Amino acid sequence: MKSNLTTLCYIEKEGSYLMLHRVSKKNDINKDKWIGVGGHFEENESPEECLLREAKEETGLTLTSWRFRGIVTFISDRWPTEYMCLYTADGYTGNLKECDEGKLEWVPISDLDQLNLWEGDKIFHKLIIENHPFFSLKLRYEGDRLMEALLDGKDLLKQNSRIIE
């Protein structure tokens, strides 16, 4: 059984993030969405070990500089609850390779909202871009629809928060 602990990383270069367009895997909950790189913890891995292994497996890059940005709790009526360790990285060595989970592409950060993203991803992109301190974000989905978003325990959807504008 897969762990319900995951990592996700946005690797940055010259104002762009390395994004993965999930078009290759069958039965993929992220099918046709654009996400960062990452995946499920393996047995006995720390978050950083999972981050480094997944980045290397999916991109061919070895991360040399990264930052732990927050914990995201995903709840859905279609899959088990997932706890994601969210990172950004601004240093790496190696050469980009093809990914068997989809197409890797450098996307200007200013263009991210034009991609097919999960609604909740737009919230944590904004938090990262605004250099928000370490955060806990709870996102609850019904199907593809975001029904609840709690940032550090505060309801973003009911507060008409500027975070989700």
Cβ of 112: how many Cβ atoms within 10 Å? 19
Domain span holding position 143 = 5-164
Instruction: Output the domain CATH number for residue 58.
Output: 3.90.79.10
- pTM for the model stands at 0.90
Query: What is the average per-residue pLDDT within 109-116?
Result: 92
Numbers of helices and strands, H then E, in the chain:
2, 10
24-58 tens-digit pLDDT: 666 666 677 898 999 999 999 999 999 999 999 99
Q: State the pLDDT at residue 26.
A: 66
Q: State the pLDDT at residue 2.
A: 67
Residue 161 φ then ψ, to 5°: -70, 145
The candidate with the shortest Cα–Cα distance to 84, out of 75, 96, 71, 93, is 71
| Percent of the chain whose pLDDT exceeds 90 | 75
Q: State the pLDDT at residue 12.
A: 97
Per DSSP, which regions of the chain are E strands?
Answer: 5-13, 16-21, 34-35, 37-40, 62-76, 82-93, 103-108, 135-142, 145-151, 154-155
CA pair distance 38, 53, nearest whole angstrom: 9
140-164 tens-digit pLDDT: 999 889 999 999 999 988 765 555 5
pLDDT at residue 122 above 80?
yes
Q: Please count the structural domains in the chain.
A: 1
